[in-house]
Amino acid sequence: MKFVHMADMHFDAPFTLLSDKNNFGDLRRLDQRKALKKIIEYIKNNNIEYLFISGDLYEHQYIRNTTIEYINNLFGEIPNTKIFISPGNHDPYINNSMYKTINWNKNVKIFSEEIEKCTYGDINIYGFGFNDFYQKNSDIEEIKIDEPDKINILITHASLDGNYDNYREYNPLSEKKLKNIGFDYIALGHVHKRYISEDKKIVYPGSTISLGFDEIGQHGIIVGEIKNKKIDLDFIPIDDKEFVVEDLDITNIISKEELIEKINNIELENNKLYEINMVGRRNFEINKYEINKFILKTNIIKLKDSTKANVDIEKLVNENTLRGLFVKELIEKINSEENKENKKILEDALEIGLEILDK
């Protein structure tokens, strides 16, 4: 059997915090449509029998009827491909879900909160879908495969071996227990980074297109074939763009105009989307929104200010002033703090405090 496995497209996501560009969300939503079109064309050209969609196909809060119509029309172009969708935490199978209110094509199967097995000759496909925005228990680990000689597939949205409380909210599953059940392939969604277990039987394809600067590298789909209980997998890139964070040290830059010129002269690759992260010691106040108006390169979509005030901390610590006492106390706390997040909060407090005291 041949299949395509995709997950976490998040159709109609707003992308509001991702870019300083006003129209970026619209452009990225067009990229989502383009990506699904490419997947459908791949399925047509390669006679793919099954399409597994492991949740978060769309954003329940933002999805439009026109987008669902676009998706459903594309599914109609591959009538001989059986499509399975396991709703996730962003597109749960709830009363006003698009999965319930829209007439989907006959080749589309949408799983609900009841574990279901679909049989096609020597293939059994099990599925489970979220029925809410959180899912603590699914009974998936209790599945008993009753026809081990057949090819047995599981499709679901889940967090694998989650050790933190937030992971426990999203269908937490044990990789060891899943392996012991005996599935030939487990098509997972929820984690946006690609993961393939050593035996190739448990797979996260990652988000179909990158959703932000925390999702660097190529994004796409998993293409698989199971024959005589042996599995072959390939990763096919689908997203035409990659997100990149580029650091720019501004320590030696002395004016806003020089900074703008420096950013506009950075050599960039056309197929990548950039966040320029300004680092180092600043010699002037930076208003990234004002600077962004003069950035000429369209693939620079965000500026980030990670600079520090250009002050001599050691000198300030020895000052017999209110400012010196403030700096000395904060530096002692920063140096003794082991938690990275708390250390960053203290460093930001030092920055803000110095700005206030210098006014």
Query: How would you write 229-285 as a 3-class SS string?
Result: CEEEEEEEECCCCEEEEEEEECCCCCCHHHHHHHHHCCCCCCCEEEEEEEECEECCC
Give the pLDDT band of residue 358 (cuts 50, 70, 90).
low
Comparing 130-139, 200-209, 233-242, 345-354, which segment has the lowest mean pLDDT? 345-354
Give the pLDDT band of residue 166 (cuts 50, 70, 90).
low
What integer is the mean pLDDT of 119-132?
97
CATH 3.30.565.10 for domain 2-237:
no
**Which residue is listed with tokens 């599945």?**
143
Is the pLDDT assigned to residue 311 strictly greater than 80?
Answer: no
pLDDT of residue 162: 63
| Amino acid letter for position 55 | G
What integer is the mean pLDDT of 274-293?
93
What integer is the mean pLDDT of 172-177?
94
Cα angle 232-235-238, degrees, rounded to a multiple of 5: 145
Q: What are the pLDDT digits (tens) for 333-350? A: 988 988 888 888 888 888
pLDDT of residue 350: 84
Domain ranges in the chain are 2-237, 241-310, 318-359
Q: What are the pLDDT digits (tens) for 192-214? A: 999 999 999 999 999 999 999 99
What integer is the mean pLDDT of 61-68?
97
Q: What are the pLDDT digits (tens) for 87-113? A: 999 999 999 999 999 999 999 999 999
Q: What mean pLDDT value characterizes the chain?
A: 93
pLDDT of residue 322: 86
User: How many CB atoms neighbour CB 273 within 10 A?
Assistant: 24
pLDDT of residue 295: 95
Partners of 160 in the beta sheet? Answer: 173
Comparing 51-65, 128-142, 156-170, 335-349, which segment has the lowest mean pLDDT? 156-170
Q: Give how far the C-alpha of residue 26 lies from the chain's centroid of Cα atoms, to the nearest Å.
A: 18
Give the pLDDT band of residue 167 (cuts 50, 70, 90).
low
User: How many CB atoms neighbour CB 340 within 10 A?
Assistant: 8
**Which residue is listed with tokens 């599925």?**
127
pLDDT of residue 230: 95
Q: How far apart are CA 252 and CA 350, in angstroms?
A: 22
Is the pLDDT assigned to residue 165 strictly greater than 60?
Answer: no
Is the pLDDT assigned to residue 52 strictly greater than 90?
Answer: yes
Is the pLDDT assigned to residue 354 strictly greater than 80?
Answer: no
Those residues with Cβ within 8 angstroms of residue 145's Cβ, 6 or more apart along the chain or in another chain? 124, 152, 181, 182, 183
Is the pLDDT assigned to residue 39 strictly greater than 80?
Answer: yes
Q: Give how far the C-alpha of residue 124 lies from the chain's centroid of Cα atoms, to the nearest Å.
A: 29
